[in-house]
């Protein structure tokens, strides 16, 4: 693990980031257009946007995770019941060929440290019920909550 560095995504990371992000979308069976990926990449590179990204990089400059070669999208959110701010981790992906190398631990650890530095009360994320390998990792570093998530489309 000592040869893996977690850092903020940089504009020159696009090609590797895109490969990881495509792998992430494929993992969840989500069709993703190049236009959609370009939009997300623009968000990541816009300091005024709420989406930020971390990547895990090996000593050869190869991205291992998007928390998809170790890239993590995270954003703060208000928690009115506790009068605190939390961090929501939107995406965590490690390329299948690099799983088990410690990149997920490093990405989650970097977010834990960032949360402490910024005074956030929690780092929260969701995952698919059948994502057993990831859930096994998450059970080691976090507490599963009792909350059930719903999605409601806009409209009447």
- CATH no. for residue 96? 3.40.630.30
Q: Please give the Cα distance from 58 to 5 (Å, whole number).
A: 6
Q: Does residue 154 lie in a domain region?
A: no
Q: Could you report the per-residue pLDDT of 143-152, keeping only the tens digit for each?
A: 999 988 888 8
SS3 75: strand
Return the percentage of the chain with pLDDT > 70, whole number.
94
Range of the domain at 82: 5-141
Q: Does residue 147 lie in a domain region?
A: no
Q: Please give the Cα distance from 61 to 77 (Å, whole number).
A: 32
Q: Does residue 152 lie in a domain region?
A: no
Q: Could you report the per-residue pLDDT of 56-71, keeping only the tens digit for each?
A: 999 999 999 875 323 4
- pLDDT, residue 70, reads 34
Q: Does residue 127 lie in a domain region?
A: yes
Domain count, the chain: 1
Q: Does residue 156 lie in a domain region?
A: no
Average pLDDT over residues 96-119: 91
Q: Please give the Cα distance from 69 to 26 (Å, whole number).
A: 14
Give, to the nearest 10 degrees, the angle between helix 34-44 and helix 14-27: 120
């Amino acid at each position: 693990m000592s040869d893996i560095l977690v850092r903020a995504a940089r504009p020159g990371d696009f090609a590797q980031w895109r490969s990881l992000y495509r792998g992430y979308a494929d993992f969840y069976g989500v069709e993703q257009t190049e236009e959609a990926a370009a939009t997300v990449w623009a968000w990541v590179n816009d300091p005024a946007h709420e989406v930020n990204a971390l990547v895990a990089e090996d000593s050869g400059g190869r991205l291992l995770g998007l928390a998809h070669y170790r890239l993590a999208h995270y954003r703060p959110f208000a928690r009115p019941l506790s009068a605190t701010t939390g961090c929501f981790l939107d995406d965590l992906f490690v390329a299948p060929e690099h799983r088990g190398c410690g990149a997920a631990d490093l990405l989650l650890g970097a977010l834990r440290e960032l949360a402490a530095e910024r005074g956030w009360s929690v780092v929260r994320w969701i995952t698919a019920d059948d994502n057993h390998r990831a859930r096994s990792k998450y059970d080691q570093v976090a507490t599963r909550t009792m909350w059930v998530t719903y999605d409601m489309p806009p409209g009447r």
